[in-house]
């Protein structure tokens, strides 16, 4: 039996504002998208060969609002030190400055960035144990 594919989905008020963060700065690919599917627009980002992807949707006529708190995290483990440094530099070059993590654990070996909706992504230098 094939392993499941994980889709993490969340709403947004502005799909276009998220693309520079997730596509250009983080480096995810746009792997699919849709417009006006029963009143929803959406985009899926990730890596084509991966068993996961992110989906961002906008419901027409409905406000999604901002992240409910600073601990709504997406953590990306980057085991190669040079790759981690390049990822942080790419975020900063795209205009996204690191923010202090609510949990100081993430500041020890990582950098936290906030997307336009207030959700946070941690670029963690290291591998998942």
Q: Do domains 6-59 and 73-125 have the same CATH topology?
A: yes
Q: What is the pLDDT of residues 37-89, one digit of tens each?
A: 999 999 999 999 999 999 999 999 999 999 999 999 999 999 999 999 999 99
The answer for residues whose C-beta is within 8 angstroms of residue 18's C-beta and 6 or more apart is 12, 43, 56, 115, 116, 117
55, 9 contact by CB (below 8 A): yes
Question: In the structure, what pLDDT confidence band is assigned to residue 2 with cuts at 50, 70 and 90?
Answer: confident
Q: What is the pLDDT of residues 78-123, one digit of tens each?
A: 999 999 999 999 999 999 999 999 999 999 999 999 999 999 999 9
β-bridge mates for residue 46, sequence order:
29, 53
5: tokens are 């594919």
Q: Say what the pTM is.
A: 0.94
Residue extents of the structural domains in the chain: 6-59, 73-125
Superfamily of the domain at 6-59: 2,3-Dihydroxybiphenyl 1,2-Dioxygenase, domain 1 (3.10.180.10)
State the DSSP code for 69. Answer: S
Pairing of strands 110-114, 73-78: unpaired
Which residue is it, tokens 């627009």?
A: 41
Question: 10 Å Cβ neighbour count for 126?
Answer: 14
- CATH class assigned to 73-125: alpha beta
């Amino acid at each position: 039996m094939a392993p499941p594919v994980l889709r993490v989905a969340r709403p947004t008020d502005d799909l276009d504002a998220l693309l520079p963060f997730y596509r250009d700065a983080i480096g995810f690919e746009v792997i699919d998208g849709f417009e006006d599917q029963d009143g929803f627009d959406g985009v899926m980002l990730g890596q084509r060969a991966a068993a996961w992807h992110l989906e961002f949707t906008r419901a027409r006529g409905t406000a999604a609002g901002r992240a409910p708190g600073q601990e709504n995290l997406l953590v990306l483990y980057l085991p190669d030190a040079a790759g981690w440094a390049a990822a942080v530099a790419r975020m900063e070059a795209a205009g996204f400055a690191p923010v202090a993590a609510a949990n100081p654990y993430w500041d020890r070996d990582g950098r936290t960035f906030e997307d336009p909706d207030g959700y946070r992504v941690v670029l963690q230098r290291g591998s998942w144990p």
